[in-house]
């Protein structure tokens, strides 16, 4: 994807190209100024920035042409990114590829989790698209910036990328009711909610069930009829051509297409359409099916509803022996009941799976509401899967246990907030706290009058909020010293 675009650390000889790009009308506009920079002043600034410890400048190279630049600024709570591409090379997806390259650069450099931030004017559709193509999502912060070129303030919106961001699958499943237009509407809603992927289910009914197979009780309850499972699935089945159309539609909408195969013929078909395979809970003990998927050697998300540790261990062994690397497998805890009673979620089992097999884990949720998947993220889930529908009032087996679009969006926004709130785990004062330290923490002051050469004691000293002076953390060091000057009551103690 990115072999035609690369980034390099900028050197002095990049300046003239840098200046020319800065002088282009589009880039002058988005800089917020009404005219381009002065050559000498900009060069002086540029050369000083090359030795800046907190800012790095990169050149963006496209097919051996220098076409843009990119800044990385190290900040207390992450790394911020900004960039510009020459007008001559617009419309070629260069910005998206350059951002992809800088993310890979940071992954290698930091060898740990990081947050990448950008602020973009909401009118700058091209930049927003480039960020979203690289899994940036809308943050909480925004501010107004005055643009001299149009004599107007524009809203600058925060976008965030987390290297360990939870992968959220909006499970459309069979909630399209066998209609491709409904499936497209579900894709639209998944995009609008901010999901990373939208997932369907693919099968050929004649290869999946016998004509005599009965529906599950929840399916009977939700559909309101007692037709056979064969009859129900036949009505919900989409053609392979339909799935090709849906894959293309997902690509256009910049969301990952996924579909769970329910038999090996459909798995072979889907192998041409997707880079990740989701194996449903019903196949956890289906040895020939697991071998078949394992041979593809692709990333696998394995659901484990109805299963136990022994069955999970056997499934993992089969998949790995078939040709899939363990590091490419994520195991999802799940309870196969629609909806799942809260008391049967057993969310701690997800941690048990992680510890038992030293493997990445996630959670596939079938409860009503959004609390449990959010809790799963707080416990370390790296993948969340949740059913959604256009309306719970629609007919079909899974609608009643699914979120509606506004609920899906609320769940995803809540998960993103929890991810940010989890932080790095390092206990230190946060940026927003620093200004409060002087105000909230106490200093050592005179409890009453103190004469010169009088010994500081617990009887003549106390602590109060002052905003300056000797911190109360040094209390033991101050006790026993002599006063070098006289103090009135409430005077700050000075040495």
User: The CATH number of the domain where 208 resides is what?
Assistant: 3.20.20.70
Per-residue pLDDT at 185: 98
Q: Are residues 134 and 230 in the same domain?
A: no
Q: Are residues 370 and 251 in the same domain?
A: yes
Q: Average the pLDDT over 381-393 and give the result.
A: 97
Q: Are residues 122 and 218 in the same domain?
A: no
Q: Number of structural domains, the chain?
A: 3
What is the span of the domain harbouring residue 446? 436-495
Q: Are residues 181 and 275 in the same domain?
A: yes
Q: Are residues 442 and 490 in the same domain?
A: yes
At 467-488, the pLDDT tens digits run 999 999 999 999 999 999 999 9
Q: Average the pLDDT over 116-136 and give the result.
A: 87
Q: Are residues 483 and 373 in the same domain?
A: no
Q: Are residues 82 and 188 in the same domain?
A: no
Per-residue pLDDT at 2: 42
Q: Provide the percentage of residues in the chain whose pLDDT is more than 90.
A: 63
Judge whether 298 and 277 are in contact, CB under 8 Å. yes
Q: How confident is the model at residue 123 (pLDDT cuts 50, 70, 90)?
A: confident
Judge whether 114 and 123 are in contact, CB under 8 Å. no
Q: Are residues 137 and 193 in the same domain?
A: no
Q: Are residues 483 and 401 in the same domain?
A: no
Per-residue pLDDT at 1: 40
Q: Are residues 182 and 134 in the same domain?
A: no
Q: What is the CATH number of the domain that holds 457?
A: 3.90.1210.10
* Structural tokens at position 298: 């692709």
285 HSE (CA, 13 A, CB side): 7
Q: Is residue 336 part of a domain?
A: yes
Q: Is residue 125 part of a domain?
A: yes
pLDDT greater at residue 106 or residue 375? 375
Taking 90 as the threshold, does the pLDDT of residue 460 lie above it? yes
Q: Is residue 431 part of a domain?
A: no
Q: Are residues 391 and 283 in the same domain?
A: yes
């Amino acid at each position: 994807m990115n072999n035609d675009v690369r980034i390099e650390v900028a050197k002095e000889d990049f300046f003239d190209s840098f200046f020319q790009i800065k002088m282009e009308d589009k880039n002058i506009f988005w800089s917020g100024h009404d005219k381009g920079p002065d050559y000498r002043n900009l060069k002086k600034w540029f050369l000083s920035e090359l030795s800046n410890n907190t800012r790095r400048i990169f050149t963006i190279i496209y097919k051996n042409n220098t076409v843009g630049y990119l800044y990385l600024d190290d900040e207390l709570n992450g790394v911020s990114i900004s960039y510009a591409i020459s007008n001559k090379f617009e419309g070629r997806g260069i910005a998206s590829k350059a951002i992809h390259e800088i993310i890979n650069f940071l992954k290698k450099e930091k060898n740990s989790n990081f947050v990448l931030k950008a602020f973009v004017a909401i009118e700058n559709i091209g930049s927003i698209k480039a960020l979203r193509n690289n899994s940036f999502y809308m943050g909480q912060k925004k501010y107004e910036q005055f643009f001299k070129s149009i004599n107007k303030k524009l809203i600058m919106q925060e976008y965030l990328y987390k290297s360990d961001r939870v992968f959220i699958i909006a499970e459309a499943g069979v909630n399209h009711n066998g209609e491709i237009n409904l499936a497209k509407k579900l894709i639209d809603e998944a995009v609008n909610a901010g999901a990373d992927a939208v997932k369907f289910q693919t099968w050929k009914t004649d290869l999946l069930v016998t004509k005599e197979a009965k529906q599950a009780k929840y399916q009977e309850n939700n559909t309101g009829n007692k037709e056979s499972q064969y009859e129900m699935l036949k009505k919900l089945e989409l053609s392979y051509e339909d799935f090709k159309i849906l894959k293309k539609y997902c690509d256009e909408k910049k969301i990952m297409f996924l579909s769970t195969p329910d038999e090996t013929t459909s798995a072979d078909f889907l192998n041409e359409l997707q880079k990740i395979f989701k194996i449903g809970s019903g196949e956890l003990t289906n040895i020939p099916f697991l071998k078949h998927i394992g041979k593809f050697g692709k990333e696998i998300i394995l659901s484990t509803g109805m299963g136990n540790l022994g069955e999970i261990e056997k499934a993992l062994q089969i998949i790995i022996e078939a040709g899939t690397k363990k590091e490419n497998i994520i195991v999802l805890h799940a309870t196969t009941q629609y909806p799942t009673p809260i008391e049967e979620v057993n969310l701690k089992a997800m941690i048990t799976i992680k510890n038992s097999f030293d493997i990445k884990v996630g959670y596939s949720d079938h409860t009503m509401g959004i609390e449990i998947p959010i809790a799963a993220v707080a416990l370390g889930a790296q993948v969340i899967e949740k059913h959604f529908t256009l309306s719970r009032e629609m007919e079909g087996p899974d609608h009643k246990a699914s979120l509606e679009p506004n609920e899906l969006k609320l769940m995803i926004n809540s998960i993103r907030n929890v991810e940010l709130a989890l932080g790095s785990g390092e206990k230190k004062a946060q940026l927003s706290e620093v200004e409060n330290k002087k105000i909230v923490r106490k200093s050592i002051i005179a409890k009453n009058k103190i004469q010169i050469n009088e010994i500081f004691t617990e009887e003549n000293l106390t602590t109060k909020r002052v905003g300056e002076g000797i911190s109360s953390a040094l209390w033991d060091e101050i006790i026993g010293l002599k006063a070098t000057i006289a103090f009135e009551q409430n005077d700050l103690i000075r040495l």
